[in-house]
Amino acid sequence: MLTDELRSSLEADHGLTGVYGLRALIAEGGMGAVYRAVQLELARPVAVKLMHRSAASPPAERAEWERRFLAEARLAARVSDPNVVRVLDAGSGPAGLFIAYELMEGVSLRELLDGPEPPSPAQGLALLAQAARGLAAVHAAGIVHRDLKPENMLIDPSGGLKLTDLGVARDLTQDGIRTRHGLVFGTPRYMSPEQCEGLPVGPASDIYSLGVVAYEVLAGAPPFNEEDVAALMQAHASRTPRPPSELGAELPSGADELLLRTLSKRPEDRPKGALELAADLEALRGKARSASSAAARATRSSARTRVVRPHARVAAPTAVKVSTSHARSPRLAIGALAGSVLAAGALALALRPAPSEPTPKAKSRPLASTAAPPASPRPGVFKTASNRLGYEVYLGVKDGSVLIRIPGGPFVAGGVDEEAHEDEKPQRRIVLSDFLIAQTETTWGQYRKFCTDTGKAMPPIPKGQDDAFPAVNVSWFDAAAYCQWAGLRLPSELEWEKAARSTDGRLYPWGPEPPKPGQANCKISLHQFLETDSGAHRVGKDLAGASPYGHLEMAGNVWEWCSDWYDRQRLRSLADGATDPPPPAHGKTRVCRGGAFTNGIKEMRCSSRGESPPEHRESNLGFRVASRVP
């Protein structure tokens, strides 16, 4: 993180070496930060990536990070192509080394794929052809990208696509820089067989990775769905994927053949170059457009059904999808901040974990619009006293939960900060009646009593956890059944948000500043993303992160189920000043809130929203209970 001294210096003159004016933070991690900035002399918007001088220690490690940081700039500067994000400048300033890039307004391909309306085959092929042309320019400059994935493909509002993030790229023109056997770079879901085996890689490796992306775009799911990283890498190295048409994808003739050829195990069997692949993709696009026009004339078919898209888990469960949008704040997914990082003999980790979801089927269908099981007519709680903050405290009769009464009245829901997603906007003034919500997440000890009383089987308990840890590996249905047994209910997401942030619209439960150790069990720094996850901790540990009402772990530890169906337009559908608004009537996924030990700082914000299929169970997903006031 920026030191207070450096932050004050930057804020004082809003500049960097007198050339760039820093305007707003886009993203920040333990190693550096990306800012929206202005090139002062030209009044040109840019993105400036800073590497903090104090980011790495000991000195040898810092020197290696600085070498790689500047190598990224030098490699990117070689490429000048409409389909590759341009590097404009690099140097050293008060806060450390910096790289200036063109500023991309728009979204990543990942955000587009995970949005409410994925691209049609023709649209997807148009984007993929652009990616292939950009890749051809990268290869022409003597560079192998080595980390092609949807997160590293940015799309502007006009539909133009640009490749970014050369943080782990290999320079083929330098004979002295060679990848050692057994040193693995990349993101497992998109790695080539030779990458998975730690062998030297060339342009054909990038062709394979782009083939994996193309398969996901066109088939609705990646070619291999293993959640275990070793099994996933073995699949890339030895298994032939199913033709995408077998997954129910309606693709033009020749698509199966091209995708499977691109995913050949032997590099020499793949398309001979990225330009050849671009031409093949353009030819398929022409067929797809013709087929689409003919189908439109014949009938207006139902909307394309999304196939749930799983992603590999790398040393961390990532059950909850952090919702994305089609109109985000500017993104520049570059280098160690939002791209991949190197670990010898290991794998690259993303700062923003990708969603991990159930194995896809050929066709998905909306889940039944089943409302939450109702709480018992008489809440299963009784009043005990007041907490030290003056709020009434109630005790669950059956499960012993401690619930705090939230006074009725208005609060501000949603976010307007730089990190706010479109589904967090606009901010709305919402009025809620009094309600009760548990001080902590439901524990294993409480869930064990429920299972004993009802005969329900206990879920698997993560290694090393005892009865004081939050109950996880429970589906939304499991959590709702627990609440019905206890005479309680799940909180609505608006109730959850009010309990987390009170009435002053604060960014985090404890205030405006990002989390410090002891406030939230999450990934605060890049170093923590490289570490093996310590997992969830016992409930009630993060006392310094308490909400204004006294609730604990409302940021981090584990995601928490809410009662609502997820609706991307939830706040837009509500009038300002709405009182006790009803929840969405139907949906495919349920809302999760609070972030987890697997997530970074962004997901710790009170307004951050997650979603997950209600049948999903994961070791970073639990719940807390709520109730009406008796």
Q: pLDDT tens digit string along 129-141?
A: 999 999 999 999 8
- pLDDT reading at 239 higher than 80: yes
pLDDT at 309 over 60: no
Residue 422 contacts residue 327 (beta carbons within 8 Å): yes
Report the greatest alpha carbon distance in the chain.
75
Same domain? 201 vs 135: yes
- Say if residue 263 is in the same domain as residue 408: no
**Residues 72 and 115 reside in one and the same domain:** no
Q: Is 153 within a domain?
A: yes
* Structure token pair of residue 357: 């979801």
Residue 493's pLDDT is what?
A: 97
Catalytic machinery residues: 147
User: 287, 345, 355, 276: which is closest to 320 by C-alpha?
Assistant: 355
533 and 442 in a common domain: yes
**Residue 311 resides in a domain:** yes
Q: What is the pLDDT of residue 298?
A: 37
Establish if 471 belongs to a structural domain: yes
Q: How confident is the model at residue 379 (pLDDT cuts 50, 70, 90)?
A: low
Same domain, 70 and 115: no
52 and 118 assigned to the same domain: no
Regarding whether 558 and 426 lie in a shared domain, the answer is yes
What's the token pair of residue 184?
């693995």
40 and 95 housed in the same domain: yes
Question: Which of residues 102, 132, 164 is at a domain's end?
Answer: 102
- Residue 315 burial (CB < 10 Å; 0-12/13-18/19+)? middle
Out of 318, 338, 358, a domain closes at 338
Residue 371 placed within a domain? no
- DSSP string computed for 418-439: TT--GGG-S-EEEEE--EEEES
Note the pLDDT of residue 513.
92
The CA–CA distances, whole Å, from 580 to 41, 71, 403, 574, 576 equal 52, 55, 20, 11, 12
pLDDT above 60 (res 546): yes
- pLDDT tens per residue, range 556-614: 999 999 999 999 999 999 999 999 999 999 999 999 999 999 888 889 999 999 999 99
Model pLDDT for residues 141-198, shown as the tens digit of each residue: 888 988 899 988 999 877 889 998 765 445 444 433 233 333 344 578 899 999 888 7
Q: What tens digit of pLDDT does each residue of 94-132 get?
A: 667 888 888 887 888 998 898 877 888 999 999 999 999
The CATH number of the domain where 526 resides is what? 3.90.1580.10
Instruction: Give the sign of the dihedral formed by CA 401, CA 404, CA 408, CA 412.
Output: negative
Which of 102, 128, 143 is at the close of a domain?
A: 102
Q: Domain range for residue 317?
A: 107-338
286 in the same domain as 147: yes
Above 70 in pLDDT, residue 6?
A: no
Domain-embedded: residue 349:
no
Total structural domains within the chain: 3
